[in-house]
Amino acid sequence: MKKMKLVMVGNGMAGVRALEELLKLAPDLYDIIVFGTESYPNYNRIMLSLVLAGEQGIQDIILNNLDWYQQRGITLHLNKKVVRIDRSKKVVHAEDGTIAGYDRLLLATGSNPVILPIPGNELDGVIGYRDIQDTNAMIAAAEKYRHAVIIGGGLLGLEAANGLKLRGMDVTVVHLMPWLMERQIDSAAAGLLQKSLEAKGLKFLLEKQTAELIAGESGRVCAIKFKDGETIPADLVVMAVGIRPNAGLAEAAGIYCNRGIVVSDTMQTFDPSVYAVGECVSHRGVSYGLVAPLFDMAKVCANHLAHMGIARYQGSVTATKLKVTGIDLFSAGDFAGNEQTEDIVLHDTAGGVYKKLVLKDNKLAGAVMYGDTKDGTWYFQMIRDGKNIAEIRNHLLFGQPHLGNSGHQGQDSAAAMPDDMEVCGCNGVCKGTIVKAIKEKGLFTLNDVRKHTKASASCGSCTGLVEQILASTLGGAYMPTPVEKPVCACTDHTHAEVRKSIRERKLLTIPEVMRFMEWNTPDGCASCRPALNYYLISTWPHEAKDDPRSRHINERVHSNIQKLGDYSVVPRMWGGVTTPEQLRRIADVADKYQIPAMKVTGGQRIALAGIKKEDLPKVWGDLGMPSGYAYGKSLRSVKTCVGNAFCRFGTQDTLGMGIGLEKAFWGMWAPHKVKLGISGCPRNCSEAAIKDIGVIGVESGWEIYVAGNGGTKTEVAQFFAKVKTQEEVMEHAGAFLELYRQEGYYLERTAQWIQRVGMDYAKKRVVEDGSNRRALHRQLMKALEARKDPWEEFAVKGVEQQEFRMLEIVDEVSR
Amino acid sequence: MSKWIRVCPLEEIPRLGSRVVKTWKGDVAVFRNNSDEVFALRDKCPHKGGPLSQGIVFDRKVTCPLHGWNIQLDNGEAVAPDNGCTHRYRVRVDKGEVYLDLS
């Protein structure tokens, strides 16, 4: 079959990213032809300021080298400017006469710097700041001339000013507004910024309007004159007053433009065979100049070019970081605020730290930070997620609590970390390895880093750190993880969407879900299948059938696989209470099967480790105890203290309570593991304060705490309700667990789930609404009806025998 | 010269599953995917030796149960960006019986 032709006009970051995304989805759909006006392949424009500052060379910022284009069969026309699009014949014409026909046209023409309409703007030595050529012109000027004037005190202007200063020029920044970067930061932060830039030797003229540029004898600019009559010397004038979408080509071809090329949410222009992405477009009336939104657009565009037809671009919230070495500045969202917003401010003038958070309706609407920006990505994520911050409001300003708190020695500032410091303890990845991968492989997202380095790919406790490393390595090019991630690469749908469809459409099997939601792989993968299986059996208990082939081996054979491929088993000891008879049996089994190791677990039980798979059913049969589910995304143990049975401080019957809860909820599958702790007094001997549900006995009854976690990220359980009787505890605990089972995302612990939906929500549904609580509790007990102990099924009833039987070669036939 | 050795009837390998065959060359994992294609690999992940037979099978791949490497069933290679390869054995189905070639 003949391939379709895709022509791309423009060879910049947005366009090439769209091609990369397209090639991932449909590598063979198109013959691709690319026109670029510059003589370089795609490079990282954001890093130009580092080239100007002399911190990086041009080779360092190339993202896709010429081989990249060649290996993918892309025809690349460099130094060729497309001057005309003939839409009726579907052909583009370049200045030098090259023509190319297309089936689909992708416009990624970027933007042009705005040149002020003032006398002298055409003089030698007057430039914009946009590409490698401009950067080289500035570097050359710095060698010969002395006085540089930057018009525009925005992000780009300040980065240019800093670079030229480092190259030895005498630099003045002229700005029309009363403070610098007024579109990104408020006057307080701008004051601190200006002070530290002045300390670097930059000069500022604020609220100054340029009247004209004056030519010297050679015809090159020599001075700049302002409206108020003042004149200062200038051998180089850089205009950094803004950018304008480069829509001229499209406009001339009759494609509807309004400042930018107008596109729909599918990145399509008014001509259905013409798409546009990047700075040249106008989407819902907005043109973007930062890279993260452009990459979002690229992804959507690729989805449609690949005929998948499901993605939508719905606009972006943007964040800014200034890339001037030694200055930390971050801004995101609505930083200015208005009558409906409230501010939380920290202002330490002497220490050079300023942080302002803008809140609206208990949500973070914007943030400006100067001097200490390490929590920028965390705030940005909350802005994008629209997360309710009411409960963390009083320490919100002090940053992300417990960031990466296990195994990082409290280290939380990525930039300050040495290269050989370990970031990901699970996979043994050091900071240097991550930085190297980001630079050499052109990584932009958390997922990229996970794939290539494995950092943060296991327990995830270092995710915050990895995001910081990304942000500090990439500066403004960093793309925070999208608000709601798809379940995995097999689909574009999120966990929430999948759960909703399963419920509303009454989908009962994994193939049904995949068909209905248009999975793009034949039978999913090891990430999505277990999630789907859980969603099905938790939404439709007794109706949806459990699929053992979609479970991790641990849950399939109800044991924990060990590093050498053998297994450990942990029999259930109700409430951590045992008998001499049980212990004797465990000892006998350990002798009989020569079990190499026994261990008392943190959940008050005994683990037998190092059992061969074939022996498992026999071990279970001889133990005669039920499975402790120590392997599952399910109820694990209920840890107890002895309570008032023996303890002189005990106030309540904790053993009875613990055994009661465990007997009620054993065998319950959940989005992730669930652990309970029951203490007889606030001394917390059973660690109830870091359990998914912690029940603490007091003289007058029971206090229930929820959403604690003792794992990679320690979370203290929060107060949920105070009740009088054991029945009430059971009902509250069951209802809370059922709500989590129904609404939590797969692999989300109760702590993360509560962080996402808010404690108020859970209290409203469970504590305040009695009839809903009873309904939830009933639903859970109904789902748990007729549950069977899996070990008994295997050992006594002999189900799934072949799972445990190895094959041996039966006969030998030569053929 | 290939020597085809009968292993078991195809039905004894679950769809999207596997069986382990003890052989004089060590454990061999024989997989069956959703299209009833059959593959055989040395039952050791190139990463840390995990038993691939115990992994989740999808398409023409299996995910190692220990650390989640994805291994291609048809050639034993790890899926990028991971790097490594486990030995592949020839295997075929004839009249509902699975045959393995260990040569």
pLDDT of residue A395: 82
Q: Does residue A502 lie in a domain region?
A: yes
CA–CA distance, A452 with A439 (Å, rounded to integer) = 12
Domain identity same for A647 and A778: yes
Residue of higher predicted confidence among A792 and A386: A792
Domain identity same for A640 and A777: yes
The lowest-confidence range among A81-85, A348-352, B98-102 is A348-352
Q: Average pLDDT in the A535-542 region?
A: 96
Asked if pLDDT for residue A810 goes beyond 60, the answer is: no
CA-to-CA separations, A425 to A27, A405, A407, in angstroms, rounded? 36, 11, 7
A491: chain B residues, CB-CB within 8 Å = none
pLDDT of residue A406: 45
Asked if pLDDT for residue A654 goes beyond 90, the answer is: yes
Residue of higher predicted confidence among A260 and A373: A260
Which residues share a beta bridge with B89? Answer: B40
Interface list for B 60-79 with A (CB within 8 A): 61, 63, 65-68, 70
pLDDT, tens digit (0-9, with 9 covering 90-100), for B64-91: 999 999 999 999 999 988 899 999 999 9
CA-to-CA separations, A220 to A46, A52, A123, A147, A610, in angstroms, rounded? 29, 22, 6, 13, 82
A810: chain B residues, CB-CB within 8 Å = 6-8
pLDDT of residue A410: 45
Residue of higher predicted confidence among A191 and A309: A191
Domain with A386 in it: what CATH number? 3.30.390.30
Domain identity same for A275 and A197: no
Which of A452, A514, A523, A799 to mutate to probe the B interface, most B CBs <10 Å?
Answer: A523
Give DSSP secondary structure letters for A722-774: EESSHHHHHHHHHHHHHHHHHHSPTT--HHHHHHHH-HHHHHIIIII-HHHHH
CA–CA distance, A298 with A810 (Å, rounded to integer) = 56
Which residues share a beta bridge with A77? Answer: A35
Asked if pLDDT for residue A407 goes beyond 50, the answer is: no
B68: chain A residues, CB-CB within 8 Å = 457, 526
Which residue of chain B is at minimal alpha-carbon distance from A511? B34
pLDDT band per the 50, 70, 90 thresholds, residue A409: very low
Chain B: nearest CA to A807, how far in angstroms?
5
Contact check, Cβ <8 Å, B5/A812: yes
Determine contact, residues A377/A466, Cβ cutoff 8 Å.
no
> Looking at the partner chain, which of B3, B7, B23 has a beta carbon nearest the beta carbon of A814?
B3
Contact check, Cβ <8 Å, B7/A807: yes
Give DSSP secondary structure letters for A397-426: TT--TTTT-SSSTT---GGGS-TTSEEETT
> Looking at the partner chain, which of B3, B6, B68 has a beta carbon nearest the beta carbon of A526?
B68
Domain identity same for A696 and A749: yes
Q: What proportion of chain A, given as a percentage, has pLDDT over 70?
A: 95
Domain identity same for A223 and A260: no
Which residue of chain A is at minimal alpha-carbon distance from B14? A549
pLDDT, tens digit (0-9, with 9 covering 90-100), for A582-618: 999 999 999 999 999 999 999 999 999 999 999 999 9
The lowest-confidence range among A79-88, A429-438, A450-459, B90-99 is A450-459
The lowest-confidence range among A50-64, A76-90, A474-488, B77-91 is A474-488
Asked if pLDDT for residue A381 goes beyond 80, the answer is: no
> What are A443's two structure tokens?
């990584």
DSSP for residue B69 = -
Domain with A775 in it: what CATH number? 3.30.413.10
Domain identity same for A648 and A778: yes
The reply to whether A450 touches chain B by the CB within 8 Å rule is no
Domain with A470 in it: what CATH number? 1.10.10.1100
pLDDT, tens digit (0-9, with 9 covering 90-100), for A627-641: 999 999 999 999 999
Q: Average pLDDT in the B3-7 region?
A: 90
pLDDT, tens digit (0-9, with 9 covering 90-100), for A96-127: 999 999 999 999 999 999 999 999 999 999 99
Domain identity same for A235 and A283: no
The reply to whether A440 touches chain B by the CB within 8 Å rule is no
B59: chain A residues, CB-CB within 8 Å = 521-523, 525
Domain identity same for A645 and A772: yes
Picking from A513, A536, A551, the residue at the C-terminal end of a domain is A551
Provide Rg for chain A, Cα atoms. 32
Q: Does residue A407 lie in a domain region?
A: no
**Structural domain boundaries enclosing A726:** 633-784
Q: Does residue A696 lie in a domain region?
A: yes
Residue of higher predicted confidence among A459 and A388: A388
Q: Does residue A752 lie in a domain region?
A: yes
Domain with A255 in it: what CATH number? 3.50.50.60
Domain identity same for A762 and A656: yes
Average pLDDT score, chain A: 90
Average pLDDT score, chain B: 93
Picking from A290, A305, A320, the residue at the C-terminal end of a domain is A305
The reply to whether B81 touches chain A by the CB within 8 Å rule is yes
Contact check, Cβ <8 Å, A522/B58: yes
Q: Does residue A799 lie in a domain region?
A: no
How many separate domains does chain A show? Answer: 6
Domain identity same for A211 and A286: no
* Long-range CB contacts for residues A782-786, cutoff 8 Å, separation at least 24: A782/A541, A783/A538, A783/A541, A783/A542, A783/A668, A783/A738, A783/A741, A784/A664, A784/A665, A784/A667, A784/A668, A785/A542, A786/A542
Q: Average pLDDT in the B55-72 region?
A: 95
pLDDT of residue A413: 63
pLDDT of residue A402: 44
pLDDT of residue A428: 75
CA–CA distance, A813 with A643 (Å, rounded to integer) = 68
The lowest-confidence range among A207-221, A274-288, A376-390 is A376-390
Asked if pLDDT for residue A426 goes beyond 90, the answer is: no
CA–CA distance, A740 with A751 (Å, rounded to integer) = 10
- Set out the domains of chain B in order of their start, with CATH numbers: 4-101 (2.102.10.10)
Task: Note if the bond before B81 is cis, omega within 30 degrees.
Answer: yes
Please tell me whether the overall predicted TM-score, pTM, comes out greater than 0.80 for this model: no
Domain identity same for A342 and A457: no
Q: Does residue A287 lie in a domain region?
A: yes
Asked if pLDDT for residue A319 goes beyond 80, the answer is: no
Residues written for chain B: 103
Interface list for A 774-803 with B (CB within 8 A): 802
Q: Does residue A182 lie in a domain region?
A: yes
The lowest-confidence range among A116-120, A196-200, A291-295, A401-405 is A401-405
pLDDT, tens digit (0-9, with 9 covering 90-100), for A734-764: 999 999 999 999 999 999 999 888 898 999 9
Asked if pLDDT for residue A351 goes beyond 60, the answer is: yes
Domain identity same for A295 and A345: no
pLDDT band per the 50, 70, 90 thresholds, residue A145: very high
Q: Does residue A797 lie in a domain region?
A: no
DSSP for residue A254 = T
> Looking at the partner chain, which of B22, B35, B61 has a beta carbon nearest the beta carbon of A808?
B22
B66: chain A residues, CB-CB within 8 Å = 561, 563
pLDDT, tens digit (0-9, with 9 covering 90-100), for B20-32: 999 988 999 999 9
> Looking at the partner chain, which of B16, B22, B59 has a beta carbon nearest the beta carbon of A806?
B22
Which residue of chain B is at minimal alpha-carbon distance from A459? B67
Contacting residues for A201 by C-beta, under 8 A, at least 6 apart: A165, A171
Q: Nearest 5°: phi and psi at A814? A: -85, 130
pLDDT, tens digit (0-9, with 9 covering 90-100), for A171-212: 999 999 999 998 888 898 999 999 989 999 999 999 999 999
